[in-house]
């Protein structure tokens, strides 16, 4: 029987494993399913997201529920920046609009630390929002997982 608390690839990470972990995180967040996303984190996971401090899966679910109620038509791309042992650094961008139809591209960096089972135990995110016109959007795939042939951040010049 499989262990639901086991999330391969496991540390220590290779370049290939770190890239797989980053894509799995991107795919999870693009579901916009807070319950599903929270399962990738340890039960006592500690986050800093912008100026908010979050601890544990219940707080993660509450945070993501609020986030995706505000950030409509959310689409995210993550890219591996660096890795070592049980840590991964990523850069990301996501596009969304508010309930008034104003579009934004949010840019950021995250530092992640994993436990031996491959669950994320720490997440530190720095994020900046840039207002954009709808015509400036670059993330136009159907809601959900980014297609494999869609350009990544570097390919898009972001």
61 DSSP 8-state letter: H
pLDDT at 38 exceeding the cut of 60 = yes
Under the banding of pLDDT at 50, 70 and 90, the label for residue 5 is confident
Torsion of CA 67, 84, 2, 147, to 10 degrees: 50
pLDDT at 2: 63
Q: Give tens-digit pLDDT for 102-151.
A: 999 999 999 999 999 999 999 999 999 999 999 999 999 999 999 999 99
Under the banding of pLDDT at 50, 70 and 90, the label for residue 41 is very high
Rounded distance, CA 135 to CA 129, Å? 17
End-to-end CA distance of the chain: 42
pLDDT at 67 exceeding the cut of 80 = yes
pLDDT at 1 exceeding the cut of 70 = no
Sequence ranges of the domains in the chain: 15-136
Q: Give tens-digit pLDDT for 71-106.
A: 999 999 999 999 999 999 999 999 999 999 999 999
C-alpha distances (whole Å) from 111 to each of 2, 36, 158 are: 28, 21, 19
Average pLDDT for the chain: 97
Rounded distance, CA 50 to CA 68, Å? 15
pLDDT at 4 exceeding the cut of 70 = no
Whether omega before 22 lies within 30 degrees of 0, making that bond cis, reads no
Q: Write the class of the CATH domain 15-136.
A: alpha beta
Rounded distance, CA 103 to CA 98, Å? 7
Q: Give tens-digit pLDDT for 146-157.
A: 999 999 999 999
């Amino acid at each position: 029987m499989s262990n639901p608390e086991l999330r391969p690839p496991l540390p220590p990470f290779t370049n290939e494993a770190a890239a797989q972990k980053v894509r799995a995180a991107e795919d999870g967040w693009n579901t916009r399913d807070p319950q599903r996303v929270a399962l990738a984190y340890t039960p006592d996971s500690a986050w800093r997201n912008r100026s908010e401090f979050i601890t544990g899966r219940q707080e993660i679910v509450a945070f993501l529920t609020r986030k995706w109620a505000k950030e409509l038509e959310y689409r995210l791309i993550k890219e591996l920046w660096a890795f070592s042992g049980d840590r991964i650094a990523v850069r990301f961008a996501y596009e969304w609009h508010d309930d008034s139809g104003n579009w934004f591209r949010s840019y950021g960096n995250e530092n992640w630390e994993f436990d031996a089972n491959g669950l994320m135990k720490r997440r530190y995110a720095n994020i900046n929002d840039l207002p954009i016109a709808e015509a400036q959007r670059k993330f136009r795939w159907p809601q959900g997982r980014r297609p494999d042939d869609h350009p990544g951040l570097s390919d898009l010049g972001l």
